[in-house]
Amino acid sequence: MQQAVSARTPAHLWIVGILSLLWNCFGAFDYTMTKTKGAEYIASTMPGVDANVALAWIEDMPLYAHVGWALGVWLGLLGSVLLLMRSRWAVWSFGFSLIGAVLSLGYQMLLAPPMPGATQSPMMKAMPAVILLVALALFLYARAMEKKGVLR
């Protein structure tokens, strides 16, 4: 009987896996606090914006943006767990997370009206692009690890 040879787990997989898990846990926390209408949390993340105005702006997003946000967050978190488990399904999870992020953040960056009362700092303007770059990097990393035989 022939056995598949799998590559030894490189140290960088654990580093990337743990950092991605922390990153995606924050995304899950943000999603949960926003969806449960945590006014104090919203106020702390968007200084100068009334929490009710911010929540109304979020609720007015189209369905595809909400679905994309959920896919981006929860499949990103699942992808991190699967990466740490060395599962090849991490590639699929990160791939669909990236698609979700593109749907949600693409809407916010290109189509959404400005949030009333929001002042965009350079960091706040750059954050959607940073999120998209991290999602793309995690997908590409997982795919490379799969091709090297690290993920099974």
Compute the distance between CA of residue 23 and CA of residue 79 in angstroms, rounded to an integer.
12
* Helical segments of the chain, H only: 11-35, 39-45, 51-59, 63-84, 89-106, 122-147
Residue 89 in contact with residue 143, Cβ under 8 Å? no
Number of domains observed in the structure of the chain: 1
For a pLDDT cut of 90, what percent of the chain falls above it?
A: 75
Is 42 inside any structural domain?
yes
Q: Which structural domain, as residue segments, surrounds residue 135? A: 11-147
Number of Cβ within 10 Å of residue 30's Cβ equals: 16
Residue with the two structure tokens 């846990």: 25
pLDDT band at 120 (very low <50, low <70, confident <90, very high): confident
pTM: 0.91
